[in-house]
């Protein structure tokens, strides 16, 4: 037998920087969120590869960052 799942889709709705970016990265599986230094020397979170996401909802436990993320699935992309 084979199992399939829909490809996760993670969108950041606002910039997430510094301590909040590190917290956001810890809420997801390794390889999903990367931290990039911007021109101002601040660390900013970017979605690197949503495929590695295990669909956890840990980000919604933190009031400071739960409004910065929109989670979904690509409806016609199975992995």
* 10: pLDDT strictly greater than 90: yes
Q: For 38-48, what is each residue's pLDDT tens digit?
A: 999 999 999 99
**Assessment of whether the complete model's pTM goes beyond 0.95:** no
Options 3.40.1350.10, 3.60.10.10, 1.10.10.60, 3.30.1360.10; CATH for 6-74 is 3.30.1360.10
- pLDDT of the residue at 37: 96
Nearest one of 37, 41, 45 to 16, comparing CA atoms: 45
**32 contact partners, CB below 8 Å, separation of at least 6:** 10, 47, 48, 49, 50, 52, 53
Q: For 22-67, what is each residue's pLDDT tens digit?
A: 999 999 999 999 999 999 999 999 999 999 999 889 999 999 999 9
Parse the chain into domains and list their residue ranges.
6-74
**4 contact partners, CB below 8 Å, separation of at least 6:** 78, 79
Residue reference for tokens 């970016």: 21
């Amino acid at each position: 037998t084979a199992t399939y799942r829909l490809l996760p889709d993670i969108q950041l709705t606002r910039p997430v920087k510094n301590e909040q970016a590190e917290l956001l990265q810890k809420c997801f599986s390794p390889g999903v969120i990367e931290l990039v230094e911007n021109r101002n020397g601040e660390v900013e979170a970017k979605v690197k590869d949503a495929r590695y996401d295990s669909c956890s909802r840990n980000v919604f436990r933190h009031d400071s960052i739960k409004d910065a993320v929109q989670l979904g699935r690509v409806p016609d992309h199975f992995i």
